[in-house]
Chain A
C-alpha cells in the first residue's frame, strides 16, 4: 500500500510539471475553439459606439479601465471583484458588422469558461441596446 501512496504522490508531482513552452504558448483549448467562444459579431458598423459600449459594460461590471486605444480598438481593465483582467478588442467586419473579442484571466489562470464570455457578451448586448435607446 505504501508503494501505491508513493506512486500517487509521484503522479501528483508530475502533474505540476509544465514546460516553459506551455507557459508561454499554451492554451487550455484549441485556438479555433478559444476564438469561437471569445468572439461575437454585432449588427452595427459603428465601431466607436461599440468601443464606448464596451467601456460602459466594463464599468457596469465594476472594472477599472486601464488602457484604451481607438486605432487598435482595444480596451483593458482590471476587476478586483472578480480578481480578473480583461482585454477586449473591437474591429469592423464589413460595413454593417463589428467583431468583438474578449479574453480574460483570473488570478494566475486563463478563463476558459465559455459561460463567462457568454455572460460578458450578454451584458454588452444590453449596454449596446441601452446606448442606442437610452431613455433620458
Chain B
C-alpha cells in the first residue's frame, strides 16, 4: 500500500511538470530553407512587388487574410480537398479486404506568409514566401506539414517574375 501511495504522489508531482525548454530552437536546415523560400528582384518599388504578389496569390486561388504594407507582409490561405478520388477508392478497397477501418485524407488548408525586405547587399528587394498546410482525415484527425518542395517555391517565383517583368535572383 505504501508503494501505491508513493506512485500516486509521484504521478501528482509529475502532472504539473511540462517542460518547454526545447521550444523555439532553430533546426540545422533553417538557412537552406530560408534560401529556398527567398528570391531577390531588382526594383526599389516595394509597393509594386506587394501588389504583384497579391495578384499571383489570387491567381493561385488564395484568399488574402492579413496585409500590412508597412512591414511588407501578406498572409493568405485556401481550403482544398486532400488526396485524389482514385487514391481514396484504393484505400477504402484495401481496408475492406483486410476488414479494417479505412483512413484517408479529406480536406486541407494551405497557409502562406509572404514578406518583402530591402536587400542590404544588393539592389532591390528580397521576397520570402513560406507555405504550410493542415490536413484532416476522415477520422477528424489533423496533421501539419511544412511544404518543403523546392519546385513549388521556384514555380511561385517564376510566376511572380512574369508578373513583375523582372528576373528572380536566388540569394
Q: Once bound together, how far apart are the Cα atoms of A1 and B1, in whole Å?
A: 8
Given contacts A8-B5, A68-B73, A109-B18, whether A56 and B115 have CB atoms under 8 Å apart is: yes
CB distance from B132 to the nearest CB of A (A): 6
- Which of A65, A80, A119, A132 is within 8 Å of B24, CB to CB? A119
What residues of B have a CB within 8 angstroms of the CB of A109 in the complex?
Answer: 18
Is B3 positioned at the interface, with any CB of A under 8 Å from its CB?
no
CB distance from A2 to the nearest CB of B (A): 10
Is B75 positioned at the interface, with any CB of A under 8 Å from its CB?
yes
- Which of B22, B24, B119 is within 8 Å of A134, CB to CB? B119
CB distance from A59 to the nearest CB of B (A): 5
Give the interface of A toward B (CB within 8 A): 1, 4-5, 8, 12, 15, 48, 51-52, 55-56, 59-62, 64-71, 80-82, 84, 86, 104, 106, 109, 111-113, 115-117, 119-120, 122-123, 126, 130-136
Choose, from B30-38, B47-55, B80-88, B97-105, the stretch at the interface: B30-38
Give how many B residues have a beta carbon under 8 Å from the other chain's beta carbons.
Answer: 44
- Which of B8, B9, B12, B71 is within 8 Å of A48, CB to CB? B71
Do the beta carbons of A134 and B111 come within 8 Å of each other?
no
Q: Once bound together, how far apart are the Cα atoms of A132 and B119, in whole Å?
A: 9
Is B106 positioned at the interface, with any CB of A under 8 Å from its CB?
no
Do the beta carbons of B68 and A113 come within 8 Å of each other?
no
Q: Once bound together, how far apart are the Cα atoms of A8 and B24, in whole Å?
A: 37
Do the beta carbons of A69 and B68 come within 8 Å of each other?
yes
Do the beta carbons of B33 and A52 come within 8 Å of each other?
no
Do the beta carbons of A64 and B132 come within 8 Å of each other?
yes
Selected A-B contacts with CB under 8 Å, 26 pairs: A8-B9, A52-B71, A55-B73, A56-B128, A59-B37, A59-B115, A59-B130, A61-B26, A62-B146, A64-B113, A65-B75, A65-B115, A66-B75, A67-B66, A68-B71, A71-B70, A86-B24, A106-B20, A111-B20, A113-B21, A113-B23, A115-B20, A117-B24, A119-B21, A135-B121, A136-B169
What residues of A have a CB within 8 angstroms of the CB of B19 in the complex?
Answer: 113
Q: Once bound together, how far apart are the Cα atoms of A60 and B75, in whole Å?
A: 16
Q: Once bound together, how far apart are the Cα atoms of A72 and B5, in whole Å?
A: 53
Q: Once bound together, how far apart are the Cα atoms of A22 and B106, in whole Å?
A: 40
